[in-house]
Amino acid sequence: MCLAIPGKVKKKRKEDAWIDFGGGVVKKVKISLTPQVKRGDYVVVHAGYVIQKMEKEEARETIELFNNLKLNEKKYR
C-alpha cells in the first residue's frame, strides 16, 4: 500500500531516522536509500525506508502546472 503521508525528520543517527507523522505518531525508519535527508525535511516512507524527500516548493509547482495548462489551452482548440 502506498501511504503518501509525508512525515518530518525529527532526528537521525547513522542509517536510522525518527519520523514524526503528526498526532503523536513517531516511527523509526531506515534512511539507507536517502542518506542525505536532514532534520526538518519532509519525507515519504515505504516498507520502513525513506524513499524520497518531499519538496514543499514542488507542491506549489503542480498548482502552477495546472495554471500553465489553462493558459496554453487556447493553442489546442
Partner 1 sequence: MKRNIDKFREKSFSQQVLQKIDELQSGKEIKIMHVCGTHEVTIAKWGLREILPKNIKLICGPGCPVCVTSAQEIDSAVKLSLTNNNILTTFGDILRVPGTSISLAEAASQGANIKVIYCIDEAVSLAKKNPKKQVIHFAIGFETTAPTTAVEILNNSNLDNFSIIPSHRLIPSAMAGLLKSGQCQIDGFICPGHVSTIIGSQPYEFLARDFSRALVIGGFEPNDILLSILMILRQLRKKKTSVEIEYTRLVKPAGNPLAIKKMWQVFEPCHIGWRGIGIIPHSGLKLRLKFKKFDAIKKFNLKIKRAFDVRPGCKCGEIMKGLAEPKDCPYFKKQCKPEFPLGACIVSIEGPCFVAYKYGSI
- Return residues touching partner 1 (CB under 8 A): 1-2, 4, 6, 29-30, 32-35, 42, 44, 46-49, 51-52, 54-56, 58-63, 65-66, 69-70, 73, 76
Tell me which DSSP letter residue 2 carries.
Answer: -
Distance between CA atoms of residues 32 and 46, nearest Å: 12
For partner 1, which is the closer residue by CB, 11 or 48? 48
Grid cell, residue 55, equals 519538496
**Least distance in Å: CB of 40 to partner 1?**
12
Question: 57, 58, 54, 41: which is closest to 5 by C-alpha?
Answer: 54
Least separation, in Å, of the C-beta of 52 and partner 1? 5
